[in-house]
Chain A
Amino acid sequence: MTTAEFSLAGIVLLPLLASAVAVLLGSRVRAVLGILTALLICGLCTAVLIQTAAGGITELALGGYEAPLGIRLRADGLSALFLCLSAVVGTVVSAHAAILPASAGHPGFWPLWLGCWSGLNAVFVSGDLFNTYVGLELVGLTAVALVALGGRDSWMPALRYLFVAVLGSLLFLVGVGLILAAAGTLDMEQAAQQLAETPEAHAAAVFALCLMSVGLVLKLALMPMHRWLIPAHAGAPGAVSPLLSALVIKAALFVILRLWLWVMPLDATTEAETGLAEGLSTALTALAWTLGGFGALAVILGSVMALRQDRLKPLVAYSTVAQVGYWFLFLPLLLDPEAGALEGQPGTTLAEDAVLSGALSGSVALALGHGVAKAGLFLAAGLLKELWGTDEIESLRGAGRRHPLLILSMGLCAVGLIGLPISLGFTGKWHLATSAVAAEHWWIIAVLVLGTLLSAGYLLRGIAPLLLQDAKDPQDQEHDAAQDADASAESPRRQRLAEVPAFVLGLLTVLTGFLAVGIDALMGVGAPW
């Protein structure tokens, strides 16, 4: 067993173990354990990352049983990227929760979050569909419990979230069953092979894809199914919302990418004998366009809704709804990856799969960038709510004077969310737009432009009032008094320190913008083309 293989098992089992141990410990020790686990996970992720960056796919058959009999863990470029996201964001947010225990809501945070982390990692390295299901379920249930930590007011949202999560998992599980029946295996790689070779199984596979997509989209809160997300993400404790928005929904996204690009026999559409039958192909196209259309709808309507919010955390939550839309825009490109527009132009000569790979890299970059930036923004918003007792934008006027670092972090995160350079958001939009231009999907450009401008609008609307300085002096003093009262609970130094994690995420939002080339190379490891 090499280090990388060992790490692969470690990143799943370690947090699970830590979660179980944490239940037995006192609340203070839990935080220490949490931080230790986080650091270890970072180390293990680095090992996997190094192996993947060197061009190797890390595989581990648990217990030595090979698929289809055994369970296989597998990390390619896509896995490594999402693992890194969860390691970085998870560690920073854990640090925040450790610094400011109030932001975790309840000591129950630690076991739940560590369990959730284990589930996330399991999804990211899972090589077979059932394991993916188990991971998703673990993530979903712990996430619901994390929401419920927000106190009595968040029980209803948590319950609603539970229904959605369970319904989504159910649909997913039915899809898994169908694929098992059609392909005779749960292992993704083998299933993909089987499906490509047996045209008779295509009908079941496409139907399964429909079911699973709907189930996952529920968990992802794509536009018409987004209602549950707002109260859940906005009502969760300060350290929980960033995890939910940045990581938990990414698990579902990851599975969607895996299914559409790795498991489904999309390549077969071009070959006559093994190709999808006419009807199936239409069905698949319709599904892709529906999801892409919902994505466009989410980007625009979600942003408009965000513009209409008066409170900071719901605004940020709606921003998540809007950003989710971006990740679905590339689906119609998948089925039509011809770089038609560039024929006969003197410009860039593209490789055969450039549209596909560009669109996928772009969507992944957008998702990763969103993870970092949104975690930072939610962390900052949660901290402001913690310190000021409210997140109404109107009453937060002038908060910037007391917390300049926090506002700076929010600004940096906003750069990433709007998609301005230098950030992964910009990289992602660039990729997506170049692919769209090449394949003549102009509607994507229109959505990107509108989304960018609207997101600038709502983020400015949320952040700018914090810079106002004309706050009435007596009111200011009232706030000061309230602050001092709060300060007795948490020492002011701790509060200052609690601003640092958000700032780290803000900085990372910008710095990761330089990693575009590396991310693209990583995406090539184990890519489906």
Chain B
Amino acid sequence: MNKMLDKQELERKIQELTFSAVELNLFLDTHPNDAQALQDYQYVINTLQQLKDLYNQNYGPLLNFGYASVNDNYWNWVSEEEKWPWENV
């Protein structure tokens, strides 16, 4: 499945899963014993991590601090190839 996703599709998928994680995180804050929510959260963050790794490998860093591997000859965080979130797709 992963090979099929282009950059924008992968980004959207990561966005969706991140939203699920945010929502479950807040829900768990006030329902810390909810087994279903705990299980859902575990599933979401596992899948999210896989997709983030895939993104980092193929399209550059989503996080600058200690999560993405570094290119040998260039600091990709400042790459002019990449758009910042507020710029139109």
Indicate whether A and B interact: no
Measuring CB to CB, which residues of chain A are less than 8 angstroms from any residue of chain B? Answer: none
